[in-house]
Structures are given as C-alpha cells and as structure tokens.
Amino acid sequence: MPEEQDVELEARLADQERFVPSESFVSQANVSDDSVYETFEEEWPECWEQAADLLDWNEEYDTVLDDSNPPFYEWFTGGELNASANCLDRHLDERGDEAAIEWVGEPTDEENRTYTYEELHREVNEFAAALKEMGVGEDDVVTMYMPMIPELPIAMLACARIGAPHSVVFAGFSADALATRMNSADSEYLVTCDGYYRRGDALEHKAKADEGLGGVEHEVSDVVVVDRLGDDYDHPMGENHRDYDDLVADHAGAEVEPVSRDAEDMLFLMYTSGTTGQPKGVKHTTGGYLAWTAWTSQAVLDIKPEDTYFCSADIGWITGHSYIVYGPLSLGTTTMMYEGTPDHPEQDRLWEIIEEYEADQLYTAPTAIRAFMKWGSEYPDKHDLSSLRLLGTVGEPINPRAWKWYYKHIGGEDCPIIDTWWQTETGGMMVTTLPGVKDMKPGSAGPPLPGVDVQVVDTDGEQVEPGRAGHLTVQKPWPGMLRTLYQNDERYVEEYWAEYSDTDSDDPDDWVYFPEDGAKIDEDGYITVLGRVDDVLNVSGHRLGTMEIESAIVGVEGVAEAAVVGGNHDVKGEAVYAYVITEDGYEEGDEMRDRIVEGVEDAIGPIARPEAVVFTPELPKTRSGKIMRRLLEDVANGEELGNTSTLRNPEIVSEIASKVGDD
C-alpha cells in the first residue's frame, strides 16, 4: 500500500470510535439476529435451554434453574450427561476422520501431531481404562501438572469420562504451588511429564513435580509421567511412577463406558488467586459449565465444526479449559494447541501457524498483542492471514491503540474483534459483543451477553450514571457460574456475594455476585472494565494475589515485612513491585534482592517475579496500621503522590519514591 494512503488509514482508524462488523461476517454468523437480547430477557431463565440443547443428555433435566437456596444455584437439575462423550463420542459418526486437535510443538524440526476425533476418542478411552485400573474412582480428584502437550486434554477428557474431577496446575507454577493445590484437594493422583520445550530449551519439569510431591501431606497413590522430551532428558522414575505410553499401550483398544454424571456433579476444580494467601478452589459442574462453554463458543467465537480454531492461551488457565478444550470440542471443531512461545524461533511463529493451518479464529490476550505491536507489523505482514474470520481477546483490558493494531494488522480490517470479559469463576464469557450483531468500540468489552444481567453499581448497590466508574456486578445467576469454593461454602459466600447481597435472605433477587472488578458503562450499555478493585494483580493476563507474593517474600530469611503492588507496564499490563523491609543485621542489596526473587519463584513461579524490589525502612501506613497500597502504586507508576495526610508516617513516601527513581 502506498505510504500516503496508509497515513490516511491510520488517521481514520484513530478517529473511529465504532466499528461495524462486515456484511460478509454477519451473513454467515451463528448469531446475527438482534432480537436475541430481548428474547433472552423475556424468557429468562428458560432461554438457557438453548445452551443445554447444544449438548447430548443421557437423562433430560427437569428444571432449568433451581434458585431455592441462593447463592447455591443449581442448573439443569435432574439432567445427566458426560462431558467426554459430548466432546468425543457424539462426533464420531460425522467427524471421526476430521481433526479434533492440531498440535504444534515448539521445535520446528519435529513433526506436528494431528488427532482425529476417532484417534482422540481411542486414546482417551485407553487412558481412562488405565486410570480406572490404577483405582481412580468417581469423584477422586486427579491433579495434572502439564504444559501444552496433547496428553493434557487427553487426561482431562479421560477423567471426565470416568467422573473423576481434574485439577490442572499451570506448568509454570512452582513445586510449592503444586503441593498446596494437591493438599487442598486431597488429590492422590498426579499426571505430569518429563519436560517441555520453551524458547528452544528443554525444560526439565519432572524434577519440579517430584519436589512438589515431596510437599504433599497425604499418600499419593500414582504418578503418571508423559515422556515428552525423549532422549533430551532421561528422567528418573519413582516407585509409584508409571510411564504414560506404557499405560496406554497396556490398554490398547480398551473402551470405557462414559459415566452418566448428574448435571451438578463436579467436572473440575481450578485454583485461582484471591485476596488471601491461600488460592481458591473454584468448582465447576458438568451440565452448566459445558452448556455455557458450548453456547458461548458458538455465539461469540462463531465456531462451526469445519473451522480450525486457534486459542493461544495455556490449558493451565481457565481460558484454555473453556476455549481450547471443552467449548470447541463439544462443538466438534478442530482446536489448535501450540506448545511454545510466540517468538520462537522468530517473532512470526503464530502467523506462520495461522497461515499453515488456515486458522479461522484467533483468541489471545492483550499482553500478546502489545508484544506483537512492539515487535512490529513486518512479522504478520510476511504471512497470509486471510483465513482469519474473527479475532478475540481476553484476560485484561485492551487499550484502543492495541485493539486497532490487532484489527488492522492481524484482521486486515475485516475481522470483528470480540473483547471478552470473564473470570475463572464465571466459567465462560459474560461481557462481550456478539460479533454478528453488535458494533465494536475499541477499549470497551461491550454489552453483557443476552440473558446475562451485569450492572455497574456504586457502593450502595445503585446503578451508576453512564460514564461514571463503579463496581461490576452480576445480578442474576448463569449456568457456567462456579458453584462453590472446594469444601468451603462459607468462603464462597464471603468472597463473591457478601458485598452486595442480603445474605440472610433466601430470595434470589437479594443476591448479587461481585467479581471484584471496577467498570464504566456508556449510554449504549457498553461496559469498559477498568481492572480489579481487590488485591489481585493481572500480570501478562495472569492472575496473581499480592498476599501470595508477599507471604513468599516474608518467607525469605532476613525479610521483616513486605508489600506488593502492581505498577503499569507497557507489555505485561501490570508488573510486580515489591517494597521490602529487612530485619536488623541483614543487608539490603543485590544478594538480598536475588534471594527475594528466588523466593517468589520457588513459592509461586517465574510469572510472579518482581520487576522491582525496593528496600525501605518503613511502609506507608494509616494510623490504624493499614498499608496504603494506593500510594505505593503511585510511586511504582512515577505518578504524583496522592493525599498522604492520613498517614502515620507521611515522610516515608517521598523517601521511597526517591529510591524507585534511583533504580
């Protein structure tokens, strides 16, 4: 394109506040009729039968929503189904020979793997048989500590087949984090692997898994190890360790009848960060969750069975559970998995994959988009990305500049972008435009989905005026919602409902879900999510609790006290800033800083590594002793310091600020 024209285009994109989906997209979209919003409102909650209808049920449900005991809502009660059968068996007749998973390993000299539905079904059955033989029974929690290799979704679906909930721990988390989660879930089984490839290196994962197992307080019955690295890593096997390939070979051709699960039976647990140091075990169920992910995959991601759909998230987080595994597979489409980082071997790896596989959708995170922008448009420009029909983002706010870059350079100004707000707890998407129905406004996720009652309210629970900031709330239950925190109903009510509900009431209208996000709403009902209002950070789209990081730092010898806040970061969104007071007799300096970074990596993982460690003799505290995090955030961001008059020690703030400036 001639240069002048490009400048003109930039100017036009910069001014444009509203983007209209192309006619060619709308004409083929799964949902293109605006009336869906009104219909769902009028027919709520029966509207969600539409989601349930996307699934095969062994036993029809009697009631769509049982709201007799809020906030312990139940969906599709009386219904029975199996998630593995819904993701595999029912597609065999029509799509048995089509690809279910296209897996791309990081090394470019290695063969990629394709699993047809037939092949995936076979291996899931074989592994399910192996799990059964190991003694895994219905409702036994099986932990998976695995990177992006096909055996991870296989193990998840094998568990779903026999009614054993899985608990996947992100492979980037530390050994300690694995132990904490296995202890909390009383999980006696672990599926892991020897290692994986990351930026060209073979990472030895098994050693970390073994270390984690050392911290498990109960007896671990069996550990299954997938051999990913072959000769690159000769991993030791413990007494109760079993080789995945041997297990599958021993059960070659086995068929395991999918267990009929009650709609409300647990499908999986996923641990996520909250305000306290202890991660929360979010419980998702079989019927509501699967219906939710299937419906949103169809309506929002516009997935059709013949698509090749690419989500670049990691299955260790909720996005991968819902939108690499359960949603796409329940619709019988081809879902892609990529093992490595987008900059290996070059910064065009994703574009190369999209071109090669002719992907129809790309669902990624703003952090990735900001990195792509930084690397430059020459990388996507080298590739034919015309197969793409839709783009999506998730995990953090996306600024209009990044949105427009994505729209232009990846979508060729022809793909609608869905900016989807949701959480581990919501199971699937909640606020986003329906791409075949609504215009897009860069920076704003859009209106709530049909049938989803999201309101932005003030501290009294009253709706705020358009343009004013308030708290995001969900005023009605939805099928994909978490049901509780594992074995902790009390904390479930306390964390999500207490803020805006009358907790003594059994009238569902008195119950409001609070996701701990701030937001604004405009005249058209479009919601802009501003970020967390609790002590949770969002680093590269990864959710981390400040308390978790603080307790890791305080665990380091010589640290007396620590406060962690998020500072702005142009690629990561937020970065971890740690303010640390050392104990008498310990020296501040590089050695201490290194030990602190190591302490955080050991307790949580490299994703939580502090960007800056600032030593200080005191932390700014109110007279009642509360740390003023807002001021520490201002310091991290180099902003003018807010009001310090309520502090017991106001002078400390400028002292800390000068230290950050020196860094």
Where on the chain is the footprint of ligand PRX (CB under 6 A)? 272, 318-319, 394-397, 419-424, 445, 515, 517, 529, 531-532, 538, 543
Query: Nearer Cβ to ligand PRX, position 319 or 501?
Result: 319
End-to-end CA distance of the chain: 44
Query: Nearer Cβ to ligand PRX, position 543 or 609?
Result: 543
Query: Nearer Cβ to ligand PRX, position 180 or 319?
Result: 319
Q: Minimum CB separation from ligand PRX for residue 423, in Å? A: 4
Q: Minimum CB separation from ligand PRX for residue 422, in Å? A: 5
Query: Nearer Cβ to ligand PRX, position 184 or 433?
Result: 433
> Are 342 and 354 contacting, i.e. CB atoms less than 8 angstroms apart?
no
Q: Minimum CB separation from ligand PRX for residue 425, in Å? A: 7
Q: How far apart are the C-alpha atoms of 114 and 328, rounded to whole Å?
A: 16
* CB proximity list for 518: less than 8 A, separation 6 or greater: 469, 470, 471, 472, 529, 530, 531, 532, 533
Query: Nearer Cβ to ligand PRX, position 316 or 332?
Result: 316
* CB proximity list for 643: less than 8 A, separation 6 or greater: none
Q: Minimum CB separation from ligand PRX for residue 278, in Å? A: 16
Could you write out the DSSP letters of every residue in 555-599? TSTTEEEEEEEEEEETTTEEEEEEEEEEPTT---SHHHHHHHHHH
Sheet order of strands, 469-474 included: 454-457, 469-474, 517-521, 527-532
Q: Minimum CB separation from ligand PRX for residue 221, in Å? A: 30
Query: Nearer Cβ to ligand PRX, position 303 or 318?
Result: 318
Residue written as tokens 């997935």? 303
Q: Minimum CB separation from ligand PRX for residue 318, in Å? A: 5
Query: Nearer Cβ to ligand PRX, position 387 or 423?
Result: 423
Q: How far apart are the C-alpha atoms of 105 and 494, rounded to whole Å?
A: 43
Q: How far apart are the C-alpha atoms of 654 and 662, rounded to whole Å?
A: 12
Cα dihedral: 306, 310, 311, 314 (round 10): 110
Q: How far apart are the C-alpha atoms of 272 and 265, rounded to whole Å?
A: 20
Query: Nearer Cβ to ligand PRX, position 39 or 423?
Result: 423
Residue ranges with strand state E in 259-333: 261-262, 266-272, 280-285, 308-311
Q: Minimum CB separation from ligand PRX for residue 556, in Å? A: 26
Q: Minimum CB separation from ligand PRX for residue 272, in Å? A: 5
For residue 219, which amino acid is it?
Answer: E
Per DSSP, helices labelled H in 285-406 are 286-299, 318-320, 327-330, 349-357, 366-375, 378-381, 400-405
Closest CA to 189 of 168, 158, 220: 220
Q: How far apart are the C-alpha atoms of 402 and 382, rounded to whole Å?
A: 20
Query: Nearer Cβ to ligand PRX, position 424 or 473?
Result: 424
Query: Nearer Cβ to ligand PRX, position 222 or 396?
Result: 396
Structure tokens at 95: 């799509």
Distance of CA 447 to the CA centre of its chain: 21
Q: Minimum CB separation from ligand PRX for residue 201, in Å? A: 26
* CB proximity list for 62: less than 8 A, separation 6 or greater: 77, 78, 79
Query: Nearer Cβ to ligand PRX, position 285 or 538?
Result: 538
Q: Minimum CB separation from ligand PRX for residue 652, in Å? A: 30
Q: Minimum CB separation from ligand PRX for residue 525, in Å? A: 16
Q: How many CB atoms lie within 10 A of CB 386?
A: 12
Query: Nearer Cβ to ligand PRX, position 140 or 396?
Result: 396
Q: Minimum CB separation from ligand PRX for residue 279, in Å? A: 11
